[in-house]
Amino acid sequence: MSSEEPSAQRRTSRKSVAFTDEKLVVDADGTVTIMASEDDQHKDTAMSHTSPTTAPVTESADADGLDLSLLKKKKKKAKKEEDADAADDDAAAAADGEEGAIDLSMKKKKKKKAVKEEDDFAKKLEALKLEGKEGDEVATAAAAAPVEDEQSGDMDKGTGIWQHDETKGITYDPLLSRFFALLAQKNPDHASSGTRSYKIPPPQCLREGNKKTIFANIAEICKRMKRTDEHVTSYLFAELGTSGSVDGARRLVIKGRFQQKQIENVLRTYIIEYVTCKTCRSPNTELSKGENRLYFITCNSCGSRRSVQAIKTGFSAQVGKRRKMQQG
């Protein structure tokens, strides 16, 4: 019990909530880890097969950045690995710092600590596994290199299927991995940009009487999301299947008992649907009424524009006294 209390206090005193896109983090990690593994492989094989004198050449090729020749990446790769480590650290740090924070992922908020620890543990495990795999891969690559399998070959050195005069068709998978490797190599900032988090203050819920809930800081949240109060309100009412009103201090009075967590969940879906840009996941967007009574979201960071569904209340059953009155 004593251990519970401080956490509860912390929870109430928390100022802001982080909306981290878990998927994204994982994505970034995935790509990053893949790259790292390739990295080691290349490095080792390169070291074993090429003389050190070729290294400067590849570096210079790398420097101009436009050279698509298959001899390249060395220095950047090493840097990438560092980046990957940094990103991992960042993610871990973020997870540490924002324990109990709201993730954009639908993960339940309960048992936050335990989950986090598990996550960390899993991450470590994965890393360990990866390392092991790398070692294996290196070994197998070294073994298989002279045999020159069908779809093998070093992309950087331009051997095997990546040779210039190679006529054999390359299957989709290696091409895809090559694409991503090149993409990440040319744009080192892409992988790190995925871990950005979006913060809004947690909703403050008070109970008014027995049957009404006051959502106190809706104005602040709306301001942060750059959406009108009316839009958010109508979405809340549609999703919660209730009605309500705005009181004197611009607080929202919702009919029905709702907990903070429930409001939070609805806000989360709202943010996913009406705030974040689907293309670049940036929350820096604007909602505007376009032609034909359709609402459009325009992203301020990538410039994409998409239409969003209008808020529909849908069917709602009559509950309570009104129903009896209607029938009677």
CA dist list (Å): 105 to 101, 109, 316: 11, 10, 28
State the nearest-atom distance from the C-beta of 209 to another protein, in Å.
13
Rounded to 5°, angle at Cα 272 from 278 and 247? 140
Select the span of 53-61, 140-148, 151-159, 310-318 touching another protein (CB under 8 A).
310-318
* Nearest partner of 34 among 149, 153, 173, judged by Cα: 173
The identity of residue 221, as a single letter, is I
- Does position 315 interact with another protein (CB under 8 A)? The reply is yes
From first CA to last CA, the distance across the chain in angstroms is 52
The identity of residue 190, as a single letter, is H
Q: Closer CB to another protein, residue 194 or residue 203?
A: 203
Paired strand residues for 295: 289, 308
Binding mask 253-282 vs another protein (x if CB under 8 A, - otherwise)? ---xxx--xxx-xx----------------
- Does position 320 interact with another protein (CB under 8 A)? The reply is yes
Q: At what angle do helices 75-97 and 22-49 cross, to 10 degrees?
A: 150
Q: Closer CB to another protein, residue 242 or residue 304?
A: 242
99 in Cβ contact with 7 (< 8 Å): no
Given candidates 159, 242, 282, 304, which one binds another protein under the rule CB under 8 A?
242
Q: Closer CB to another protein, residue 158 or residue 241?
A: 241
233 in Cβ contact with 311 (< 8 Å): no
Q: What are the φ/ψ torsions at residue 316 (nearest 5 degrees)?
A: -140, 130
State the nearest-atom distance from the C-beta of 265 to another protein, in Å.
5
Binding mask 219-238 vs another protein (x if CB under 8 A, - otherwise)? -------------------x
Total residues contacting another protein by CB under 8 A comes to 19
Site for another protein in 163-222 (CB under 8 A): none
Q: Closer CB to another protein, residue 174 or residue 241?
A: 241
- Does position 316 interact with another protein (CB under 8 A)? The reply is yes
Interaction site with another protein (CB under 8 A): 238-242, 256-258, 261-263, 265-266, 314-317, 319-320
